[in-house]
Chains A and B, each alone.
Chain A
């Protein structure tokens, strides 16, 4: 397919994207700071203490948004990787690669906060619950994508192989989830369940939504930053990239002299 039909997306040109993303990053950080401050304040001080779990439940305001982001970002990554592969859109592939580490970080954060939450409420750091296990497998899928694209030196091949893996992974995620769920119900009489959450006060829900939006803003800021670095690295021989990198280079040079 010719690239002319994609003129519509004028920011798909790496040079334009570089400028736009650079302009948006401070706003994303600002949105993250404001939303996270309000969300944490509501979650930690306004939301009522839980009757059964005490204050330990308050980690939910990090845990649940992180888990949502981890799953969403995998799909977003697979989507952009597929677009990049199907339409030979370089920027889409670069975006997919920029999303992967953030998605893996959120997956790890969800697992870690889950363990910290499980210790006081369930009395154990880890149970082989369907949700926990699928989240762990999701972390493996992220790790597989990251190591595959970093193992291939040719960026074109790396993008395409990564896209294929991400697509196959996203087809498999529901199968894995349901098989793990069934395995779990067969193997252990689950005395503790992550699904039996108490009814939520509206302040809790608001705080959780605010934290989710904050994580969105964070993800945008970090992904834009990383994508800008990838764009600059891949287009390093292009005139625009050398022109935009020059001030930064001279700044580091003076920084090293002092």
Chain B
């Protein structure tokens, strides 16, 4: 099972490494989007500290949604997606495994870098160390949710005109719990409360999404390609 899974994962990572500019675009978007907020809201440290968790989380959510549109588009265009879906027998991956491998690749290429650079923005928004650590932790728990749900949106809108805008409309409402618990945990830490409840709920939402989204994505791929 791990053989073909690792193969698909390695293939997607290699593809991302060969198109480095494309892979860096979500981070660039994230950076630009976050930098707009102090310009729009004003540079008062108190205000910035208060809005920082929400701003970083919203920017991460939108960055994930923008980058995930291409998750299956390239494979559909060159026909490899169909081959991967019809492949069977030893050494091949079933649909569920394929979906999970693609989501894992997307998370490693976009989600993980967001988790790594988010603390920098925490510093720029004058957040305390504890809150920054909490921000990184909630992003680490929450960005896989975005990759999984985004994969569902990418499969549903596969090959459609204006698929990118459609994906945002379809998937963002479903991501709202991740945003609420993610930004809520950081706000709770900032207010001197315990964020354990938030972490638990975010973790529960991640587990729930990991159980529900891959079968739904596999079904969506079947609908889109048949």
Contacts and interface: CB of A to CB of B under 8 A. Distances in A.
Interface of A: 137, 140-141, 143-144, 147-148, 151-152, 157, 160-161, 164-165, 167-169, 171-172, 175-176, 179-180, 182-183, 186-187
Judged by DSSP, the binding face of B is: helix
B2 interface: no
Contacts of A143: 169
A233 B224 CA distance: 23
B205 A175 contact: yes
B180 A161 contact: no
Give 5 nearest A-B pairs by CB, closest first.
Answer: A179-B177, A144-B170, A183-B180, A160-B223, A140-B173
Given A137-B173, A144-B173, A151 B219 contact: no
B125 interface: no
A25 to B, nearest CB: 32
Nearest to B171: A144
B184 interface: yes
Given A161-B156, A164-B220, A172 B161 contact: no
B162 A186 contact: no
A157 B162 CA distance: 17
B181 interface: yes
B166 interface: yes
B55 interface: no
A148 B176 contact: no
A137 B223 CA distance: 26
B160 interface: yes
Contact of B188 (A144, A176, A186): A186
Contacts of A160: 223
Nearest to B201: A179
A211 B224 CA distance: 42
| Of listed B161, B174, B216, residue having the most chain A CB within 10 A | B174
B172 interface: yes
B139 interface: no
B154 interface: no
B223 A176 contact: no
B67 interface: no
B105 to A, nearest CB: 22
Interface in B151-187: 152, 156-157, 160-163, 166, 169-170, 172-174, 176-177, 180-181, 184, 187
Interface in B47-106: none
B160 A186 contact: no
Contacts of A152: 160
B212 interface: yes
Contact of A141 (B156, B173, B220): B173
Contacts of B220: 161, 164
A157 B180 contact: no
A181 to B, nearest CB: 10
Given A147-B169, A169-B173, 5 more contacts: A168-B152, A172-B173, A176-B177, A179-B201, A182-B184
Contacts of A183: 180, 184
B185 to A, nearest CB: 11
B224 A176 contact: no
A175 B211 CA distance: 15
Nearest to B156: A161
Nearest to A176: B176
Contacts of B187: 186-187
Contact of B216 (A141, A157, A164, A175): A164
Contacts of A165: 156, 170
Contacts of B188: 186
A148 B184 contact: no
B156 A175 contact: no
Nearest to A158: B223
